[in-house]
Amino acid sequence: MALTKLTYTYWCGASIISSNWALSAAHCVKGASINSMQLRAGSSVRGSGGTVHSIANSHMHESYGDNDDYDIAVLQVSNAFSFGPNVQAVALASSEPPAGTSATVSGWGATSSGDNGASILRAVTVQIIDRDACDRSLGGITSRMICAGVTGGGKDACQGDSGGPLVSGSTQVGIVSFGIGCGLGNFPGVYANVANLRSWIRSTSGV
C-alpha cells in the first residue's frame, strides 16, 4: 500500500505492484505534474512514517474521460520501494471475481460523506455486485468497471479513498473509482476492473 500525495497533501491511495511501479486511478493524476506528486509507503498513519518516493513517470489510460471509464493509472517512482514486513507488492487479478465474492477495500478516506478523512488506515469488507444489477442502480457501468458493496449499505469506500485497492484474498481486483455518496444501500461503489485492464498495466509498466 502507498499513499499518493499531491503537493504534500494527502489526495489518493495507490498500491505497489513492483519495486518501481504503483497503481492508482486516472482521476487521481489527471492534470497533475509529476513534480507535485509523491508516494508514501510502509506506514498506516496518514502523512507520516514510512518512506517517501518521488515520481519519475505517470501514465493514465489514454481512453480515460469524463464518464469515469478506464479510470486507471500507473506511477513509476524515482527511488525504488524497499520490500519488507510493511511494504510488499500486491498480485494483480487476471480473471474477474464472480458476484458475491468478498473483497476488502482500504484507505485513509472519509468515514462518512463529507468528513475530513481518517488519520489511520482503515479497511472494510464488501462483496462483488453483479454488473447488470449495478448498472440498473447507477447506469453507465462498463466491462472496465467492477462494483462492490453490502446489502443495505453502510460499508463502502468514500472520498479520499480514490485510487486505493480492492483486494480479494491476496489479489487486487479493483481500484477505487467513484460512487454516489458513501455506503448508500442502493448505490454500490464502483472500481476500475483490474482483470479487464491487466493487459494495459503490463504493456505500460512491464509489470
Query: Are domains 2-89+197-205 and 91-193 of this chain identical in fold?
Result: yes
| Cα–Cα distance for residue pair 145/68, rounded to 1 Å | 9
The CATH number assigned to the domain with range 2-89+197-205 reads 2.40.10.10
Among this protein's residues, is 71 annotated catalytic? yes
The CATH number assigned to the domain with range 91-193 reads 2.40.10.10
CA nearest 10: which of 40, 51, 50? 40
Q: How far is CA 30 from CA 14, 74, 94, 113, 205, in A?
A: 14, 12, 26, 23, 18
pTM (two decimals): 0.93
| Cα–Cα distance for residue pair 168/173, rounded to 1 Å | 7
Among this protein's residues, is 68 annotated catalytic? no
Of 15, 18, 24, 27, which one is the catalytic site residue? 27
Torsion sign over Cα 20, 23, 26, 28: negative
- pLDDT the model gives residue 31: 87
Among this protein's residues, is 162 annotated catalytic? yes
Evaluate whether 173 touches 195 at the Cβ level (below 8 Å): yes
Of 69, 71, 156, 161, which one is the catalytic site residue? 71
- pLDDT the model gives residue 140: 95
**Residue 3 banded pLDDT, cuts 50, 70, 90:** very low
List the chain domain ranges: 2-89+197-205, 91-193
The pLDDT tens digits of the residues spanning 99-119 come to 999 999 999 988 876 677 788
The pLDDT tens digits of the residues spanning 16-56 come to 999 999 999 999 999 888 888 999 999 988 888 999 999 99
The pLDDT tens digits of the residues spanning 116-140 come to 778 889 999 999 999 999 999 999 9
- pLDDT(5) > 60: no
Pairing of the two strands 91-92 and 171-178:
parallel
Of 43, 58, 106, 162, which one is the catalytic site residue? 162
